[in-house]
Structure 1
Amino acid sequence: MKVSIITVVYNGAEFVRDCIESILNQTYSNIEYIIVDGKSTDGTVDIVKSYGTKVARFISEPDKGLYDAMNKGIRLATGDIIGLLNADDFYRHNRVIENMVATFEQTDSDAVYGDMLYVDRNDTKKLKRYWRSGWYSENAFLWGWMPGHLSFFAKRWLYEKHGLFRLDMKSAADYELMLRFIHKNKAKLAYMNEVTIVMRAGGISNSSLQNRLRANREDQLAWQLNDLKPYFFTFWLKPLRKLKQYVSKPPETLDK
């Protein structure tokens, strides 16, 4: 199976090389690597261009934000499977794509997801948070569950049939998309019981209490937009479930 990996970046010269290398060093060979840049001015474009044809598609132009850039990449993708990896982040090891494809093949799933680590932005040996997605059960979204977005690999036809990221959502567009794919349209899931993604700490929805409250309101909107009815406690369980991520430890030591 052909895998399309999309990286979106804007002024990410500090870390984008780590991201690119983690993809180019994967043991799986049939990867289409797409980079969508938001017209960076800090040297990012020169770094990407230095990789030549190792990057299958590269565009650099203004966009309407993170999810608009992701949508551009998805529209360019020709792979059977689509994955996203932001410019600050990198894969846990060089067999992530190989293991992910094997999971698709063994389970005949529509989408595959794994676990994620959040680390210090400058010292990636310092663990900040461990997101163990765990096994999915039907209606898990009602109980505040969701997989880590960047650990989520989906068949391209899911995007073609059920749509891309909504640009009218600021921080919960990833949640809304997975709610739409998984809970509403019953995509068949498989869980990779391993850490797949390492993310440098930070993020839109979790960087402040104000942003967390905004994300909570957008979570509610995600259900309304899909004509879905949550439990009254669904939106409180979602952030509460994340508290465990700050005390849990991954089963392996963190080696880049």
Structure 2
Amino acid sequence: MKLLSVITINYNNLSGLKKTVQSVVNQRNIRLEYIVIDGGSTDGSADFIAENASRFHYACSEKDRGIYNAMNKGIAQATGDYLLFMNSGDELIDDPFILEKCLPYLQQDVVSFSCQLRKNGSLQGIRTHAASPSLFQLWMSGLKHQSTFIRRSLFEKYGSYDESFRIAGDYEFWIRIGINPHVLFQGVNQIIAIFELDGVSQQATWGEEHERIEQMWLPHLIADFKRLRELNFFDKPKVLAVGKAIAKSVKRLRRRK
């Protein structure tokens, strides 16, 4: 049976941390190591972690240099075949066997399941992932790390998260590995987690960091990607309209011949 490493980072979010920890330690029939990295919280989180130390494979509470420094600390401690990042406030769905149910699907390098989107306790929708995400789709919307398993060897081969980014380090990682044709992605249409929409990545402006990532990894593709986005090929009626227009043009050319 594969060993899974679940990593939770936290900073001054005791209530969210408690929910996340409970949803992870409730899992059954699974080889699991749980790693908790706290950024030196002053809201009681450190005491909670100390009181529950026996539940964690590794835990610490100390100042860090931001989200991705904390995530990299977790990666450094992980020994599992696949890593799953469940940050404080995120939860696995109410099913003690949900991680066990994921195991048969963990065959590719990155495997993304679906997740519920929640805000202020209210369900806002469901985020799914394409069965075989393309680089264009990664650029369009990335992947939700709360429901995405990453083969640990990818971090060893391609490096961990770029700590120079404040909120888009995980997005940069998807693009960095996505441009390599040997890295295989898979999407599975099964809900396994709940994603809170009020996190820092939802409150800050991504524009500057996204542009920087585009210039780092996609300078030769970005113009074409933006054009595809304008055409909105995810919208079936528009795809059909484009197809009909092309078909009419072909017919006119044939008539002229």
For residues 174-229 of structure 1, the C-alpha deviation after alignment (integer angstroms, 9 at most, x for no partner) is: 1110111223354112222112220222123332xxx33xx133222213223653
Aligned residue in 2 for 1:103: 105
Instruction: Determine which structure has more spread, i.e. the larger CA radius of gyration.
Output: 2
2:177 is aligned, of 181, 186, 197, to: 181
How many residue pairs were aligned?
230
C-alpha distance in 2 between matches for 1:72 and 1:149: 16
**Shift in Å at residue 80 of structure 1?**
1.2
- The CA RMSD over aligned residues, in Å, is 2.4
**Shift in Å at residue 65 of structure 1?**
0.7
Aligned residue in 2 for 1:130: 126
1:4-23 alignment, distance < 5 Å = 4-23=5-24
**Shift in Å at residue 152 of structure 1?**
1.6
Residues 55 and 187 (structure 1), Cα distance of their counterparts in 2 relative to 1, 3 Å cut: same
1:1-256 alignment, distance < 5 Å = 1-92=2-93, 93-104=95-106, 108-121=107-120, 123=121, 126-141=122-137, 144-184=140-180, 186-207=182-203, 211-212=204-205, 215-226=206-217, 229-232=220-223, 234=225, 237=229
C-alpha distance in 1 between matches for 2:177 and 2:3: 21
Tell me the amino acid that sits aligned with residue 164 of structure 2: D
C-alpha distance in 1 between matches for 2:152 and 2:8: 16
Instruction: Give aligned-pair identity as a percent.
Output: 26
**Shift in Å at residue 153 of structure 1?**
0.9
For residues 138-158 of structure 1, the C-alpha deviation after alignment (integer angstroms, 9 at most, x for no partner) is: 333376242212222111100
Tell me the amino acid that sits aligned with residue 205 of structure 1: S
C-alpha distance in 1 between matches for 2:5 and 2:143: 20
Unaligned runs of 5+ in 2: 235-257
- Could you state the TM-score of these two structures normalised by the residue count of structure 1? 0.81
SS of equivalent to 1:205 = helix
C-alpha distance in 1 between matches for 2:138 and 2:186: 19
SS of equivalent to 2:83 = strand
**Shift in Å at residue 232 of structure 1?**
2.2
